[in-house]
């Protein structure tokens, strides 16, 4: 199984490297042999981020209980994975200590990024009384059912409650599947408590959420061993996100996660587990109070929105100082840019690619007539997406529009603001530093979304594209000018072009991307306009009109006119276009 998985992972990684390229490999275990796939890319200068999810040696001990040759091999593989990685992500402080000691990483090479439940998936809903089977209290469990998950302790605790303490007002709901499920069911029958259990097996999310919302108490029965003691269990956060009080064995990371939202039984002690369950079953106010404590914990420092910055920071450090990575590249690019005074009839030609006519009337990319015409119909509220240095937003403002504009780069937005001030339109443009995945604009707010060479960067984040659709009014328009990846010859030239050799993050729009846009926006119309003239960038090796020689300028203008004629009489050539307007 592992050999087959490694073969296909290596093949797919190579395919992605050739077709798209990448700056880093994000490596998650288990197993701890995936580092083998990263070795050739490591030699080519790509970075490796090791996302440490499981303690494989401890997992082996939990399952087999012996430190034999296989255990020592697993320790070696883990160590080689750490040594291959440039940086490591640890899920908690216990894993961080493993990275520092057994992995040999330096403290500044390890970042703790805790897991957090999805608020969209784990949502509070009304309980389903029928799931309680007529009993007063329901105890819920969700998760994998294996040997180390300790569900036999829950069955034994139930037997103590029912047989010894003569309580029949509790029902136990176990949601999940795994290799030990059939064994746990047999144990429940043998103990005479099968009627007090519901084993659902694997169920859809809606049924899982309904079961947990119905539960009065949730349990984590993971037995004490080296792996469970050091691991953060996602089920704990899921319980707390639904305001459920918890009973679990006293494990190090379990206590860190739950704090006062849980009662802690002595490790691997079924009778003490039963005692803690009954303590909560008989105290409704305590259940309510603990549930609120857990809910507050999981929506503050345990929430993903508080953890994602740690992940982003880990990647900032991964690329720091080497010029790699898309964010790093653009920050370096914008550092070289200067504020520019724009006029209504001619903008800064940094992105000049499309030429309308020769001589003094050659205009830059934002002023291409066809694109400008698409923007002219009356739109009061306009959003310039990934505005960069603000050329398009400033041109729109110079033509009497009020514009909102955002970019993720702080430097780009600063340059855009200064350029707007120099151009006399600062009061007409609201520039903001913003991530497309978290737009701070109301829904159904803009009449027009637009952008130049921006959508092909944003398409990598489908959630960001959905955010753009969210802020666009029903019946509104989105107009972009974007490069396409439809012509294999152009794609090959892009890869070998010296000017682009370090742009491994570049992603030009594919037909698959177009289908994604159609699913989100409903309809996408394209006006392809660059076929032969695409080759001018390889002739001139510059985007700036001012740096073209007279001969290069003449060739560019001539090819542009040829394109216009060809596309008019041979529309099939649109399949070979390298640029298009999208509406």
| pLDDT tens readout for residues 221-263 | 998 988 888 888 888 988 998 999 999 999 988 888 888 999 9
Cα separations in angstroms, 424 against 383, 405, 542: 19, 16, 29
User: What is residue 490's predicted lDDT score, i.e. its pLDDT?
Assistant: 63
Task: Assign 363 a pLDDT band (cuts: 50, 70, 90).
Answer: very low
Domains of the chain, CATH where assigned: 2-112 (3.40.50.2000), 129-297 (3.40.50.2000), 326-582 (3.40.50.150)
Q: In the sheet where 110-112 sits, what is the strand order?
A: 24-28, 47-52, 87-90, 110-112
Task: Assign 205 a pLDDT band (cuts: 50, 70, 90).
Answer: confident
Q: In the sheet where 246-249 sits, what is the strand order?
A: 197-201, 170-175, 137-142, 217-220, 246-249, 262-265
Q: Does residue 363 contact residue 343 with C-beta atoms inside 8 Å?
A: no
Specify the range with the lowest mean pLDDT, choosing from 33-37, 187-191, 439-443, 520-524.
520-524
User: What is residue 19's predicted lDDT score, i.e. its pLDDT?
Assistant: 82
State the average pLDDT over residues 293-309.
79
Task: Assign 357 a pLDDT band (cuts: 50, 70, 90).
Answer: very low
Q: Does residue 215 contact residue 235 with C-beta atoms inside 8 Å?
A: no
For 561, residues 6+ apart whose C-beta sits below 8 A from its C-beta are none
Cα separations in angstroms, 35 against 45, 49, 97, 423: 15, 10, 21, 53
Q: Does residue 123 contact residue 198 with C-beta atoms inside 8 Å?
A: no
Rounded Cα gap, residues 482 and 348, in angstroms: 19
pTM of this prediction exceeds 0.85: no
User: What is residue 37's predicted lDDT score, i.e. its pLDDT?
Assistant: 93
Strand partners, 218: 140, 246
- Does pLDDT of 334 surpass 60? no
Q: What is the largest CA-CA distance in the chain?
A: 97
Rounded Cα gap, residues 388 and 348, in angstroms: 13
- Does pLDDT of 571 surpass 50? yes
Residue 266 phi/psi, 5-degree rounding, is: -60, 140
Specify the range with the lowest mean pLDDT, choosing from 37-41, 126-130, 482-486.
482-486
User: What is residue 128's predicted lDDT score, i.e. its pLDDT?
Assistant: 92
Rounded Cα gap, residues 481 and 30, in angstroms: 43
Q: Does residue 509 contact residue 484 with C-beta atoms inside 8 Å?
A: yes
State the average pLDDT over residues 165-177.
93
289 φψ region: left (φ > 0), alpha (ψ -120 to 50), beta (else): alpha
- Per DSSP, the three-state class of 51 is strand
Neighbours of 394 (CB within 10 A): 32
Task: Assign 189 a pLDDT band (cuts: 50, 70, 90).
Answer: very high
Rounded Cα gap, residues 153 and 139, in angstroms: 14
Q: Which is higher by pLDDT, 91 or 537?
A: 91
Residue 549 phi/psi, 5-degree rounding, is: -75, 160
User: What is residue 198's predicted lDDT score, i.e. its pLDDT?
Assistant: 93
Mean pLDDT of the residues in the chain: 80
Comparing CA positions, the residue from 211, 583, 174 lying closest to residue 374 is: 583
Strand partners, 139: 172, 217
Rounded Cα gap, residues 117 and 234, in angstroms: 7
Task: Assign 408 a pLDDT band (cuts: 50, 70, 90).
Answer: confident
Rounded Cα gap, residues 204 and 18, in angstroms: 38
- Does pLDDT of 379 surpass 60? yes
Rounded Cα gap, residues 397 and 423, in angstroms: 10
Q: Does residue 578 contact residue 510 with C-beta atoms inside 8 Å?
A: no
Task: Assign 578 a pLDDT band (cuts: 50, 70, 90).
Answer: low
- Specify which of 118-127, 262-271, 416-425 reaches the highest per-range mean pLDDT: 262-271
- Per DSSP, the three-state class of 239 is helix
For helices 326-336 and 304-319, angle between their N-to-C axes, nearest 10 degrees: 70
Specify the range with the lowest mean pLDDT, choosing from 109-113, 503-507, 577-581.
503-507
User: What is residue 12's predicted lDDT score, i.e. its pLDDT?
Assistant: 94
pLDDT, tens digit, 9 for 90 and up, residues 96-141: 999 999 999 998 899 998 887 766 677 888 999 999 999 999 999 9
- Does pLDDT of 309 surpass 90? no
534 φψ region: left (φ > 0), alpha (ψ -120 to 50), beta (else): alpha
Strands 217-220 and 137-142 come out as parallel
Rounded Cα gap, residues 385 and 468, in angstroms: 9
- Does pLDDT of 538 surpass 70? no
Rounded Cα gap, residues 371 and 343, in angstroms: 18
Specify the range with the lowest mean pLDDT, choosing from 27-31, 85-89, 260-264, 545-549.
545-549
Task: Assign 268 a pLDDT band (cuts: 50, 70, 90).
Answer: very high
Comparing CA positions, the residue from 356, 343, 400 lying closest to residue 375 is: 400
User: What is residue 14's predicted lDDT score, i.e. its pLDDT?
Assistant: 92
In Å, how far from its chain's centre is CA 163?
49
- Does pLDDT of 201 surpass 80? yes
User: What is residue 567's predicted lDDT score, i.e. its pLDDT?
Assistant: 64
User: What is residue 317's predicted lDDT score, i.e. its pLDDT?
Assistant: 84
User: What is residue 416's predicted lDDT score, i.e. its pLDDT?
Assistant: 87
User: What is residue 277's predicted lDDT score, i.e. its pLDDT?
Assistant: 95
DSSP state of 399: T
Cα separations in angstroms, 574 against 218, 527, 560: 60, 8, 14
User: What is residue 531's predicted lDDT score, i.e. its pLDDT?
Assistant: 58
- Per DSSP, the three-state class of 577 is coil
Q: Which is higher by pLDDT, 109 or 334?
A: 109
Rounded Cα gap, residues 247 and 263, in angstroms: 5
Question: To the nearest whole percent, how much of the chain has pLDDT over 70?
Answer: 76
Rounded Cα gap, residues 364 and 28, in angstroms: 45
- Does pLDDT of 182 surpass 70? yes
């Amino acid at each position: 199984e592992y050999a087959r998985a490694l073969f296909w992972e290596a093949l797919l990684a190579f395919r992605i490297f050739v077709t798209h390229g990448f700056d880093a490999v994000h490596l998650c275990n288990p197993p701890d042999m995936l580092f083998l796939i990263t070795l050739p890319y490591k030699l080519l200068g790509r970075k490796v981020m090791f996302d440490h999810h499981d303690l494989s040696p401890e997992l082996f001990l939990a399952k087999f209980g012996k430190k034999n040759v296989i255990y020592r091999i697993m320790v070696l593989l883990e160590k080689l994975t750490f040594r291959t990685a440039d940086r490591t992500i640890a899920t908690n402080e216990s894993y961080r200590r493993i990275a520092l000691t057994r992995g040999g990483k330096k403290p500044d090479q390890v970042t703790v990024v805790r897991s957090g439940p999805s608020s969209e998936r784990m949502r509070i809903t009304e309980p389903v009384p029928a799931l309680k089977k007529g009993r007063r209290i329901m105890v819920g469990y969700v998760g994998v059912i294996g040997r180390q998950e300790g569900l036999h302790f829950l069955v034994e605790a139930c037997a103590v409650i029912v047989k010894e303490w003569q309580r029949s007002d509790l029902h136990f709901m176990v949601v999940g599947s795994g290799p030990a499920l059939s064994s746990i069911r047999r144990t429940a029958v043998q103990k005479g408590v099968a009627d007090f259990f519901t084993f659902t097996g694997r169920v859809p999310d809606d049924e899982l959420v309904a079961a947990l919302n119905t539960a009065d108490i949730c349990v984590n029965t993971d037995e004490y061993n080296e792996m469970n003691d050091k691991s953060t269990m996602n089920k704990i956060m899921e319980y707390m996100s639904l305001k459920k009080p918890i009973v679990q064995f006293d494990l190090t990371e379990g206590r860190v996660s739950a704090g006062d939202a849980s009662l802690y039984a002595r490790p691997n002690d079924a009778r003490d587990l039963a005692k803690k369950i009954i303590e909560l079953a008989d105290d409704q106010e305590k259940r309510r109070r603990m549930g609120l404590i857990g809910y507050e914990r999981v929506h503050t420092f345990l929430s993903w929105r508080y953890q994602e910055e740690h992940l982003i920071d880990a990647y900032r450090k991964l690329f720091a100082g080497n010029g790699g990575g898309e964010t790093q590249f653009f920050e370096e690019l914008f550092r070289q840019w200067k504020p520019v005074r724009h006029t209504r009839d001619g903008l800064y030609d940094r992105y000049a690619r499309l030429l309308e006519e020769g001589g003094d009337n050659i205009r830059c990319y934002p002023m291409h007539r066809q694109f400008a015409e698409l923007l002219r119909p009356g739109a009061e509220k306009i959003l310039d997406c990934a505005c960069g240095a603000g050329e398009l937003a400033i041109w729109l403002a110079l033509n009497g529009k009020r514009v909102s504009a955002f970019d993720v780069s702080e430097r780009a937005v600063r340059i855009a603001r200064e350029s707007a001030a120099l151009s006399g339109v600062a009061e007409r443009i609201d520039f903001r530093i913003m991530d497309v995945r978290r737009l701070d604009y109301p829904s159904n707010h803009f009449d027009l979304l637009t952008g130049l060479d921006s959508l092909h960067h944003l398409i990598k984040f489908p959630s960001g594209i959905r955010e753009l659709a969210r802020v666009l009014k029903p019946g509104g328009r989105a107009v972009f000018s974007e490069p396409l990846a439809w012509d294999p010859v152009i794609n090959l030239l892009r890869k070998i072009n010296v000017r682009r050799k370090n742009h491994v993050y570049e992603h030009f729009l594919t037909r698959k991307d177009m289908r994604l846009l159609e699913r989100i926006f409903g309809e996408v119309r394209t006006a392809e306009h660059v076929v032969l003239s695409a080759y001018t960038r390889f002739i001139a090796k510059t985007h700036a009109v001012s740096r073209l020689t007279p001969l290069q300028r003449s060739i560019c203008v001539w090819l542009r006119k040829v394109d216009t004629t060809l596309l008019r009489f041979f529309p099939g050539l649109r399949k070979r276009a390298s640029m298009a307007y999208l509406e």
